[in-house]
Amino acid sequence: MELPYVFGGPLAQARLRAEQEDFRVEEDLGYEPTGAGEHVWLWLEKRGCNTDWVATQLAKAARVPKLAVGYAGLKDRHAVTLQWFSVTVKPEHEPDWATVMPEGVTLVRATRSAKKLKRGALKGNRFHIFVRDLARTELVDARLADIARYGVPNYFGEQRFGRDGENVTRFLASQAAGLPEDRFTRGILLSAARSHLFNQVLARRVLDKTWDRPLAGDRMMLDGSRSVFAYDVNDSLIPERLAIMDIHPSGPLWGRGETLVTDEAQRLEQDIAASLGSLPTLLEQAGLERERRALRLPVRDLLCEWSEPGAALSFRLPRGTYATAVLRELVNWHADFDVDTASADR
């Protein structure tokens, strides 16, 4: 199913990533290292390097196990990215970090902190994306204003699913063969299947025009958190909180356990799950616990600077969300590489 748009579809064709500098990501932890402790924290700028490879090189340089290196989220290889790494190493064994950086990686800052960086322990990312061959028009200006005001559907990006959605196909094939024992591959397939179900629920609610307003029996999610609460139709503050994007309707990250939603919301989600054959049951059998994800993605601090080759966009997104969800509402694009393979919770 092609995922529906909320603003009428893309307005133009454009080019992304003609140059590596066209796509920049800056990690926002939402907090600062303490300045002292057993963990070295390194603020690194990297080009053409994936996060896990950099972590491996840091472990080798410090002569520590790879498990001693931490990071909050995976960042795109085909981009310029700024992110934190932590390394558990004693001061007397600490290398001269500026001289041991691998090719494509630059040390910006080194400090210490009391804790190791953990996956998912960040607020979000700031994106700086140059969209080439996009001409300024009144329609484009209006679309950008709509995106900033209303947000966009919080779809998982295509990169989550592999080429031609092969990760979901491989997950379904595991019904006979079993899931791979390799933890990394297993996680990729489970995430793809879970994300596919969520996207189908969200797509239905986009079509029904309920992606940004609650249904009876819905669970609302607090912006910037994973906390949810039951929608109360008699709560007079809900419309105002929705309007300022303090809360959002949520959709299912499928697994075992309570559905959390009731009434109309439950019927819609069960209808979508039933249409996907064995996929929901396989997710439950894999032992995943049911969770929720916001249906709406707020696009904070959206700015656009125009030049003759195109538009320089910058915006902030919360962790675990995709810049492609924003860009698809504005343009169709051609890119030399997959766009936005980095999602902060993966």
Catalytic residues: 76
What is the DSSP-derived secondary structure letter of residue 296?
E
Q: Token pair for residue 342? A: 């980095």
Radius of gyration of the chain (CA): 21
Query: What three-state secondary structure class fits 259?
Result: coil
Measured CA to CA in angstroms, residue 9 lies from 74, 82, 335 at distances of 29, 32, 19
Q: Could you give the dihedral angle defined by the CA atoms of residues 335, 329, 327 and 332, in that order, rounded to the nearest 10 degrees?
A: 10
Q: 């492609």: which residue's tokens?
A: 324
Pure H helices in the chain: 51-62, 97-100, 138-150, 166-177, 183-207, 238-243, 263-275, 279-285, 323-327
